[in-house]
Structure 1
């Protein structure tokens, strides 16, 4: 194998520098250290090692993880345990448990703590939390089977980007006319897994309501009208109301200035009302006219990435028609994919969205083109971490034509 020594030296220097910074409690260096460590591994591995890892290790580790979660292995590793003890507790054959543990050690999920005992790692401890393990349950149930059939779908479509969410890779993979969400609702445990996955996905990630991200109080509070029944924020397609609860917790003074309204389809709306009785919940389909007029803010979190450009335009036009010029804002909490240096998180999610909904994650250029195409104007884009979601502030452009 021919090694690019100048490139290798740069990576080694970067890993060393970021490693020292992280050891000196510079938490911001951790992400850069992980990125450079991945790059270093890619530089050191020969192509055959990488291909074999992709073909052998990734699919088998995934299967082993799902089996371990299903039999309740990881919660048993609060202290070192032997294969025999784990086999009895998890009710598996001894040979199967031995093979499972061996592979989990080889792929760095758990560690060997003694000649015949096994212990937890931060990863296996995290997988004891349903909001973490649900990501694998959800992925195996829906995105993974579709992605497995995506090459065949694209070959059949002569490698054209999917545009029709009713006849996309999902319908091709499952041979159904249903949407992914309709289909998922028929699968036992899948909706719950998705809800748990979303809770885990957003945990410990930067929030636009955090200090130093988006100036919430000045951008939304300053200039807000004090008229009766004023609506501060309409959370359009807001799930169970996690974001409104976060706003109420982190910005109580602002939240007290007006109504906090959640809009969702019937089943989710009912669940939201049961889980958060204090919420003002309205059943609403965002493709239909927006019933709340002249609100200060119309907010959407990870809504538009589910839809094609044409469907996004339909959603945005309904909001535009409800906005009060020079007062109302739309806040779009979504990924803004960098034109260069995009993280694997965003590019992976982009492919998941293409496969499951014939939709996409969008670059800044694509967001601006989409928003201005319906006569709206981007006032600014706030980003705390380029690998996480941004906040796009949008106002009504009275000059632009539809």
Structure 2
């Protein structure tokens, strides 16, 4: 129903009004039948997505204004349009595959839901409107929330760099919010910061002095050698172990003597996991053959890649953490 509200632009209309509107006024603005509009508004008020001032009169509240934000809109569309069909296909997929572990990104409930042989990310890139909603959601996901830089000693890592050494490489970093955030966190840093992503993404990268955008596929050898930090936010949880190891090894081969790999992902406890993390785990499994990992599973994964976790910083609930990884030898 929130998705329908977005389709009708109800939340923007009410947010811009500054006061209450009647059902008839709202129906005229959105071009919908008054009776239908009233029933939709009544429902949205019942879940506090809008406010009701009197009989057949409605107004914006804080949730309404939040739903007017482009990033939140992207999240709603992504979850209803991209994730929703996968959830509906998931029971049938598991039954068909006799409830075995899902290990291939091309054999998941995603392929069943969308009748495709493509893995989810390739399919998304072929569907511009779906992909745009996903990207807006990713850009806004941590907006206004505590940053990992408040907990991880990143400024210490900026000391004693060689003159030409790259400081920070954000692998799969989208349009560069994290890379730009690092530059803003340490504005005095003169060593270069790089954001890497697919060729279709890089033209849309944020323009920031000291931050370079580079097209790169993380299943290929890492071209930037010897940087101080290689950072991956919400990358490894998108892939099953075999693919995750491939990404990690490509990165590990580029490390210099003082390099570290930072994995910004959730580290789940071994028992009593928060419901939101389990929802994400089901989403990762059903659509990507991937998973949210416990500390034990992270250690096992790093061992397969020839890495070890030398420190973990948990910076936000539930379980958002930085894993600092280095080669075993």
TM-score by length of 1: 0.77
- Name which of 160, 182, 189 aligns with 2:122: 182
The more displaced of 381-390 and 242-251 is: 381-390
Alignment check: 8 A CA contact 2:180 2:208 kept:
no
Which structure shows the bigger proportion of residues in strand conformation? 2
Structure 1 equivalent of residue 170 of structure 2: 235
- Equivalent residue for 2:282, pick from 344, 347, 351: 351
Deviation, structure 1 residue 115: 2.9
Which of 158, 181, 203 lines up with 1:246 in the alignment? 181
Q: CA RMSD in A?
A: 1.6
Whether the aligned pair in 2 keeps the contact of 1:206 and 1:388 (CA below 8 Å) is no
Task: Give unpaired runs (5+ residues) of structure 1.
Answer: 1-63
Q: Could you tell me whether the CA contact under 8 Å between 1:307 and 1:358 is conserved in 2?
A: yes
Write the distance in 2 (CA, Å) between the matches of 1:121 and 1:344.
27
8 Å CA contact 1:143, 1:355 repeated in 2:
no
CA displacement at 1:188 relative to structure 2 = 4.5
- Deviation, structure 1 residue 388: 4.8
Structure 1 stretches of 4+ moved >6 Å: none
CA-CA distance at 1:184 after TM superposition: 1.9
Shift of 1:75: 2.1
Deviations 1:68-127 (A, max 9, x none): 111111122231111111111111111111111111122222232123311222211110
In structure 1, C-alpha distance between the alignment counterparts of 2:146 and 2:167, rounded to whole Å: 22
Is 2:66 aligned against 1:135? no
Given candidates 133, 157, 167, the residue that maps to 2:97 is 157
Deviation, 1:67, is 1.3
How many Å apart are 1:305 and its aligned residue? 0.9
Q: Is the Cα contact below 8 Å between 1:169 and 1:358 reproduced in 2?
A: no
Higher-Rg member (1/2): 1
CA distance in 1, matches of 2:266, 2:145: 12
Whether 1:315 aligns to 2:247 is yes
* Superposed displacement of residue 277, structure 1: 5.9
* CA distance in 2 between partners of 1:387 and 1:356 (Å): 22
The aligned counterpart of 2:231 is 299
Equivalence for 1:35:
none
1:269 aligns with 2:202: yes
**Does residue 121 of structure 1 match 2:61?**
yes
Partner SS for 1:149: helix
> Which residue of 123, 141, 146 maps to 1:201?
141
Alignment of 1:277-296 (within 5 A): 278=209, 279-296=211-228
CA contact (8 A) 1:372 1:378 kept: no
Q: Report what 2:6 is aligned to.
A: 69
Q: Which consecutive residues of structure 2, in runs of 5 or more, have no partner in the other structure?
A: none
- In the TM superposition, 1:64-103 aligns within 5 A as 64-77=1-14, 78-103=18-43
1:383 corresponding residue in structure 2: 314
Match of 1:110 among 50, 59, 64: 50
Say if 1:205 and 1:388, in contact at 8 Å, map to a contact too: no
Q: Contact 2:173/2:195 (CA < 8 Å) preserved in 1? A: yes
Report the structure, 1 or 2, having the larger helix content.
Answer: 1
